[in-house]
Amino acid sequence: MKDTFTKSMSWLHTWASLLLGWLLFFIFLTGTLGYFQKEITQWMKPELPISVNKFTQQELVQIAMNHLKKEAPSSKKWLIKLPNSRENILSVTWSHVRKDKATAMGGHGGGRGKRTTHIINPHTKEIVKPRRTGGGGLLYRMHYRLHYVNARTVGRYIVGIASMLMLIGLITGIIIHLRKILKDFFTFRQDRNLHSWLDGHIFTSVLALPFHLMITYSGLAFFVFTYMPLTALANYDGDMRNYIQEAFPREKAIKIQGIKEPLASIEQMRKNAEAYFGSPIKSISIINQGDSSAIVNFTRENSTLFSSEKADKVYFSGIDGKMIENQSPNRPKATRARDILTGLHRGDFANIYARWLYFLSGVLGTFMIATGLVIWTKKREAKQKDTLGFKLVDNLNMVTIAGLPIAVAVYFWANRLIPIDVPKRAMQEADAMFIAWLAVSVFVFSVNSRKMWVVLFYLSATLYALLPISNFFLTGRHLAITIAQGDWTLVWMDLMLFFTGLAFWYTGHKVQKKISS
């Protein structure tokens, strides 16, 4: 330990953050992309029909209902997912329930029979089969359970330890910097080596400090049962299932009565639900259709974070179409508190403006980690340049900060280039990403020179900038079409990829100037 409190904190800040800094960079980058996971997935499935948003909800529900009546007349569990501001997809799902069992309203089948999902093209009313891909969801899932780590808890533990270290880094950082927080708030001195790196580190940390604290703390709240299981085990007879059952009560199951009754008008219910929410509908689930026990429930598009889950769902009797009592179970208060933390982490409530704010904050966090890692080497450059430890950190910085974006770009390219009918296609896309990252590592460690920064940044720039252009040749979903059809999700994705390319080119250019001078 060091002689003064601040110095001890500074020591802790340096080493706690360095230890898993590279992993934290990975978590922050993939997690930040996760805020646009649905948009990324849509971009990665160019077979999906375009301009679905030109249809009204009424028309779409009609198309979906006709499809369900034709394809699954005997199923007792129908689900319709409507296109919304983030996803331009109309899909229907059904599952078959054993006759003697009751139909559970929520959940995902859970062994109650096979589930089938069809994505429908509303223009032609035909089924669409997009290419198999992990999409943005895979990137998002990587940020909390990593990849190639099969046992779920192992991935969660590793990420949990990294988050704890992040929290230590944040708190020690605040303590070191406490007196100067406001003074340096608006300071960003350029072109002065260590100074500008420090300013960059401080400004990305302080500006989004509420976000950094919230995201790290709430991130730990997700898997609190994995990290601290003993409290629950001690109070629930050593069986975690009892605890989960009480903490997360399931929706009721509805028993089939066996009396045939036609379903009331869905359109009328939809109108009432829309009026009730004051916002469009996201999904409709129809339980026990054709039976006297039929129930229909609607979910709203923008969920509300700080009111109970009940406010996001409304139920109707499937026979007379009248609104009935809310069937959602009451979640215990402790669960609600966790819901708020996790909802805040995922940005469940966020409209498009807030989503961009989340994204920006995430980018700032990623920069904070990157600048912090670089500062470690900058401070030791003069004295320890030739030591093994220094070289290891320096090279790992290159591999992570400049290499990971390349790996992500390769993931997108793999999505375009791997043939559509290859088995385990989604897995291969992810494999391509990690093979690329491994190749970058081998390259960096064998060349062992700072010039690799420039090479890697320019490579990133090329890969990203060419992606939107590749759409002209590979998918036919290029900017000329997407702009003309008004499919803004795809337009924005292409533009963002292109600007990311430009940003990497600019960074490479700057670094090149600095190295050569």
Partner 1 sequence: MSIFISGIILLGLFFLSLILSYPYKRLFGVKPSGKYTVYLHLLGWGMLVVGMILSIKTYGVGIGITYWFGYITLMAFLLVIGLSYKTKKEKKC
Which parts of this chain interact with partner 1 (CB under 8 A)? 182-183, 185-190, 203, 207-208, 210-211, 305-306, 340, 344, 349, 353-354, 357-358, 360-361, 364
**Residue 242 or 342 having the CB closest to partner 1:** 342
Burial status of residue 383 (CB atoms within 10 A of its CB: 0-12, 13-18, 19 or more): exposed
The Cα 82–Cα 75 span in angstroms is 20
**Residue 49 or 343 having the CB closest to partner 1:** 343
The Cα 44–Cα 121 span in angstroms is 17
CA-based nearest residue to 135, from 87, 90, 81, 93? 87
**Residue 94 or 358 having the CB closest to partner 1:** 358
Judge whether 407 and 437 are in contact, CB under 8 Å.
yes
Instruction: Please give the distance of CA 297 from its chain centroid, rounded to a whole number.
Output: 26
Judge whether 88 and 489 are in contact, CB under 8 Å.
yes
**Residue 269 or 344 having the CB closest to partner 1:** 344
DSSP assignment string, 266-312: HHHHHHHHHHHHTS-EEEEEEESTTBTT-EEEEEESS--SSS-GGGG
The Cα 1–Cα 385 span in angstroms is 25
**Measured from the CB of residue 181, what is the shortest distance to partner 1 in angstroms?**
11
**Residue 116 or 307 having the CB closest to partner 1:** 307
**111 token code pair:** 């062994």
**Residue 64 or 364 having the CB closest to partner 1:** 364
**Measured from the CB of residue 357, what is the shortest distance to partner 1 in angstroms?**
4
DSSP assignment string, 218-266: HHHHHTHHHHS-HHHHHHTTT-HHHHHHHHSPPPPEE-----B-PPPPH
**Measured from the CB of residue 100, what is the shortest distance to partner 1 in angstroms?**
45
Could you tell me the strand order of the sheet in which 115-121 lies?
Answer: 126-128, 115-121, 90-95, 77-81, 281-287, 295-300, 313-317, 323-324
**Residue 342 or 462 having the CB closest to partner 1:** 342
**Measured from the CB of residue 371, what is the shortest distance to partner 1 in angstroms?**
14
**Residue 343 or 403 having the CB closest to partner 1:** 343
Query: CA-based angle 77:340:331, to the nearest 5?
Result: 50
**Measured from the CB of residue 185, what is the shortest distance to partner 1 in angstroms?**
7
Residues recorded for the chain: 517
**Measured from the CB of residue 247, what is the shortest distance to partner 1 in angstroms?**
22
**Measured from the CB of residue 37, what is the shortest distance to partner 1 in angstroms?**
19
**Residue 181 or 422 having the CB closest to partner 1:** 181
**Measured from the CB of residue 67, what is the shortest distance to partner 1 in angstroms?**
37
- Give counts: helices (H), strands (E), the chain: 20, 10
**Residue 261 or 309 having the CB closest to partner 1:** 309
Tell me the Cα Rg of the chain: 26
The Cα 287–Cα 507 span in angstroms is 55
**Measured from the CB of residue 261, what is the shortest distance to partner 1 in angstroms?**
41
The Cα 240–Cα 219 span in angstroms is 21
* Helix, strand and coil in the chain, % to nearest 5: 60, 10, 30
**Measured from the CB of residue 218, what is the shortest distance to partner 1 in angstroms?**
12
